[in-house]
Amino acid sequence: MLREVLIVLLVAAFIAGCDGGSDARGETTDTLTAGSTKTKPCAEDDTFTVWCGYKNPEDLAATPDGNYLLATGFGGIPEPVLNEMSLINLATMNRNSVDIKLSKNTWGDPNCERSSLDFSTHGLDIKQRKDGKYMVAVTNHLPSETVELFELTSSHSGWGLVWRGCVESPVSESGERQPVFNDVALSKSGSFYVTEMYDINMPFDELIEAGIAEEDTGSVWRWNAIDGFQIVDGSQGSFPNGVVINDAEDTLYVNYWFSGKTNKLDVGSGTVLATHFGGRADNLTMTQGSVWAAKHDMTVSEYLESCPPDTVNCFLPFSVYELDLNDLSETNVWHYDSEIFGFGTVATPLGNSIWFGSAHGDRVAKYTMEKGGGDGS
């Protein structure tokens, strides 16, 4: 099964570099344009209500008021592509390109510079700092591997971003190693933890071989303004993916995509406190007293039938696990198999709804937990 999933990763990497195409189900898709766009419901079934007008909304995070979702794109593996961040008004489902202003680098590494607002976004996190300001961190692949840091501010469209700095991915002294980032988790101090999927200099066929053998390909890195980057002890694993941190900031929860596990990791000692095996989970969300993981359920035959390279949307089945913070036991599990939304890469609960994005699609989806549809248990 793992070998099949890795082949899927190769196909997905090709698709991620494409600019679009026809929808696999023959539906009309809205063109993603700069500025304000009103997104219309694409469809509704017994499980999902869906809105179009996006381009691979890989990760989602709720704004502090709970009225909006901030969405990143999918930067692409192994060849990154430019994309944009969107702000979704949950009351009207209007989607706007995020208003970003360039300012001085006061939160990042002084040596990290940016003269444009072109990004290849991937994972994101929002956290209130000790000084009361709201900070947004986004992993970015172009023009180089960075974590971009923004201040979240109120604006005419609800919320906007002010660029406050960036941090370049660390390069080893020999120049032979540099992490490719995936997801990021912020601390109240302004420091952060970021997952390294693999080394940027690693040939892609070697990455695939490492995945088949479930060998370690990356780690979690800690960054602060004084010490710079350091590897978190005990975090090494096979394709680190989603990461979140608890309120006390002494425990990380980390997904490892190739090996199909979620680890609860003590930051101080590097001890793995609990492990959940439930499939190749992508992003993690910590809310409502639980960790929520979106997991891919797929075979190669299903992928190739549903998601040929010239399609916009992939409607493969996926699952969501609500995991207990203490021992990672399963509080709830939902399995989704829909003809209007699939390949979910993030699950963001708000009230009695779960919001989904996908790294391969033009849409976001909402599932109402009281409604049924997914077979929750």
- Looking at residue 20, its pLDDT comes to 43
**3-state helix/strand/coil string of 339-374:** CCCCCEEEEEEECCEEEEEECCCCEEEEEECCCCCC
**Greatest extent of the chain over all pairs of C-alpha atoms, in Å:** 56
- Looking at residue 277, its pLDDT comes to 92
138 neighbors 150 (Cβ within 8 angstroms):
yes
pLDDT at 38 over 90: no
Q: If we measure between CA atoms, which residue out of 133, 18, 150 comes closest to residue 87?
A: 150
Query: Cα(176)–Cα(256) distance, rounded to whole angstroms?
Result: 23
Query: Cα(314)–Cα(326) distance, rounded to whole angstroms?
Result: 34
pLDDT-derived band at 270, boundaries 50, 70, 90 = very high
pLDDT at 18 over 70: no
Distance, first Cα to last Cα, the chain: 25
Check residues 21 and 223 and name the one with the higher pLDDT. 223
- Looking at residue 5, its pLDDT comes to 46
- Average pLDDT taken over every residue of the chain: 86
Q: How does pLDDT run across 166-225, given as a tens digit for each residue? A: 999 999 777 778 999 999 999 999 999 999 999 999 998 898 888 888 899 999 999 999
Residues forming beta bridges with residue 198, ordered by sequence position = 180
Percent of the chain past pLDDT 70, that is, above it, reads 85
- Looking at residue 278, its pLDDT comes to 82
Nearest-5° angle of CA 201, CA 81, CA 204?
30
Q: How does pLDDT run across 1-10, given as a tens digit for each residue? A: 444 444 444 4
According to DSSP, the β-strands at 251-256 and 261-266 are antiparallel
Q: Give me the domains of the chain, ranges plus CATH numbers.
A: 2-367 (2.120.10.30)
Q: How does pLDDT run across 311-330, given as a tens digit for each residue? A: 889 888 899 999 999 999 99
pLDDT-derived band at 56, boundaries 50, 70, 90 = very high
Average pLDDT over residues 119-129: 97
Average pLDDT over residues 95-105: 94
User: What backbone torsions phi and psi does residue 338 show, to the nearest 5 degrees?
Assistant: -125, 155
pLDDT at 44 over 60: yes
